[in-house]
């Protein structure tokens, strides 16, 4: 490594293009999916446009991306359409500018005035598209909003003030919530109303700006830490921003004429399509792939596993996941090919080239469980099924937020990454449990927390009783592995 240089424009020459896309989020998924798609669009010569990356949180990585001139290596591995193993890598060079709006808010707002800017994409997790009432009192002309919708509203406000209706934007969220485009527009309009903005500005936000909803599908393990040194030697340079993803990809966008014109990702030979109704694709993917991922994290991590593939090579974990999918998830999915999709998902999880860390999936697990798994559980119960495997996973999630696991007899702290208030609430709930040993109280206070789940789940008696039963099993078992065997009996 001593003789290797860091990847910059000295090593890889960048092409010139106007910045047409603003991207909220600098994480692994956007760089392995959307930015790769933008790269392919530019390579096809059917599109010319580069990206400015906006850091959505105060702590982020735009500085690290900027230090490499926006260049990074994307490694794609998996099985191709012919069933053959694929391993390739390429340098992505479409990221041209980087903004931390918490320290460069003027620069951020200046982009609102750009006539070249046409598209805004985002991936701020399921928790990102929500109304933050603390933004209402802020002056968006001088102060950085807290939330992603707040930041976007500040951008749209400045754009309207400078350019009026002449250069509308296409807004393309990638967050895994139903109707993400409609939801984002709804939050923007409500926040603008609460701030007392003019009717003409609200009309601009609601009717002049163009939104579409999306489904994104590619497993992205992220930074290949264990292979880093070897990969740097293989490529001949040091790349601290390299990212690994699976070969498979699917991008489904709701048809919207303006968006299709400004973001013609469907025209370059990729698995990217505009359709009239994305709901069947969304339900299938979110419930089967993302839902399984989210339930697997607490079940397998508490059992001592660190990676998706590693955990599924365990006979009991594989039985658990297979039964959960076939008996509880697939029956709630309306597409005809749900069972085949579930089988294909397990094969993707077992991709030997992809080392997907469970803890990389664990970010914001509460909102993820609410969006990805709770609807399935409730649909099962409404249909007369008792989803014991998903309720076991729910109980495991509650134990996961106790903040530790036992591995080989040793206690390990879990690096919980979620809303600060959620982590604090769980700590309080668990501390109270260790004092009074009242499991009924613990389960009821967790399930009745409307800020977690959007509703009081103690009113769903089947769910409440199943979660209580399996959390009791988990706490009374000698290990998570023993508890898993009990749910499989």
pLDDT tens string 65-123: 999 999 999 999 988 777 788 899 999 999 999 999 999 999 999 999 999 999 999 99
Share of the chain above pLDDT 90, in %: 93
Q: For 137-177, how does the pLDDT look when each residue is reduced to its tens digit (9 = 90+)?
A: 999 999 999 999 999 999 999 999 999 999 999 999 999 88
Q: For 362-416, how does the pLDDT look when each residue is reduced to its tens digit (9 = 90+)?
A: 999 999 999 999 999 999 999 999 999 999 999 999 999 999 999 999 999 999 9
Cα–Cα distance, 224 to 106 (Å, whole number): 35
Q: For 433-489, how does the pLDDT look when each residue is reduced to its tens digit (9 = 90+)?
A: 999 999 999 999 999 999 999 999 999 999 999 999 999 999 999 999 999 999 999
Cα–Cα distance, 210 to 181 (Å, whole number): 9
Length reported for the chain: 489
Over range 317-335, report the average pLDDT: 97
Is residue 37 within 8 A of residue 265, CB to CB? The reply is yes
Q: Which H or E run includes 229?
A: helix 228-235
Q: What pLDDT is stored for residue 78 in this prediction?
A: 87
Tokens of residue 281, six digits = 């694709």
The answer to whether the predicted template modeling score (pTM) of the entire model surpasses 0.85 is: no
Q: What pLDDT is stored for residue 146 in this prediction?
A: 96
Range 428-461 burial, b when 16+ CB lie within 10 A, else e: ebbeebeeeeeeeebbbbbbebeebbeeebbebe
Q: Calculate the average pLDDT of the chain.
A: 96
Residue 246: strand pairing partners: 77
Over range 43-61, report the average pLDDT: 96
Angle at 228 between CA 225 and CA 233, to 5 degrees: 175
Over range 268-294, report the average pLDDT: 94
């Amino acid at each position: 490594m001593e003789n290797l240089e860091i990847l910059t424009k000295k090593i890889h020459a960048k092409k010139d293009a106007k910045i047409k896309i603003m991207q909220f989020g600098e994480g692994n998924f956007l760089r392995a999916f959307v930015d790769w798609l933008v790269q392919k669009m530019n390579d096809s010569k059917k599109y010319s446009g580069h990206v400015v990356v906006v850091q959505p949180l105060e702590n982020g990585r735009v500085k690290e991306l900027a230090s490499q001139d926006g260049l990074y290596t994307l490694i794609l591995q998996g099985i191709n359409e012919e069933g053959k193993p694929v391993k390739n890598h390429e340098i992505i060079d479409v990221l041209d500018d980087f903004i931390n709006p918490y320290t460069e808010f003027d620069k951020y707002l200046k982009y609102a005035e750009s006539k070249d800017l046409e598209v805004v994409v985002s991936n701020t997790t399921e928790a990102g598209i929500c109304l933050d009432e603390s933004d209402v009192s802020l002056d968006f002309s001088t102060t950085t909003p807290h939330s992603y919708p707040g930041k976007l509203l500040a951008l749209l406000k400045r754009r309207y003030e400078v350019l009026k209706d002449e250069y509308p934007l296409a807004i393309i969220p990638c967050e895994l919530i139903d109707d993400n485009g409609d939801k984002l527009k709804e939050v923007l309009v409500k926040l603008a109303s609460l701030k007392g903005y003019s009717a003409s500005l609200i009309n601009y936000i609601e009717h002049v700006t163009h939104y579409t909803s999306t489904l994104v599908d590619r497993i992205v393990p992220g930074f290949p830490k264990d292979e880093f040194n070897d990969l740097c030697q293989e490529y001949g340079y040091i790349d601290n921003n390299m990212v690994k993803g699976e070969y498979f990809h699917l991008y489904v966008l709701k048809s919207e004429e303006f968006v299709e014109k400004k973001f013609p990702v469907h025209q370059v030979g990729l698995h990217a399509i505009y359709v009239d109704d994305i709901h069947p694709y969304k339900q299938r993917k979110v419930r089967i792939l993302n839902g399984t991922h989210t339930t697997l994290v607490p079940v397998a991590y508490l059992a001592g596993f660190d990676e998706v593939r590693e955990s599924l090579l365990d006979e009991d974990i594989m039985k658990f996941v297979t039964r959960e999918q076939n008996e509880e998830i697939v029956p709630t999915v309306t597409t005809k090919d749900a069972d085949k999709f579930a089988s294909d998902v397990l094969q993707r999880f077992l991709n030997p080239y992809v080392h997907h860390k469970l803890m990389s999936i664990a970010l914001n697990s509460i909102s993820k469980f609410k969006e990805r798994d709770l609807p399935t559980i409730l649909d099962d119960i409404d249909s007369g099924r008792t989803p014991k495997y998903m309720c076991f996973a729910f109980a495991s999630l509650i134990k996961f937020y106790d903040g530790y696991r036992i591995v080989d007899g040793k206690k390990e702290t879990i690096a919980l990454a979620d809303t600060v208030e959620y982590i604090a609430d769980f700590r309080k709930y668990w501390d109270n449990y260790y004092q009074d040993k009242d499991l009924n109280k613990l389960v009821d206070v967790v399930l009745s927390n409307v800020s977690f789940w959007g509703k009081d789940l103690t009113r769903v008696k089947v769910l409440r009783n199943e979660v209580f039963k399996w959390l009791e099993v988990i706490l009374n078992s000698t290990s998570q592995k023993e508890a898993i065997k009990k749910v499989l009996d």
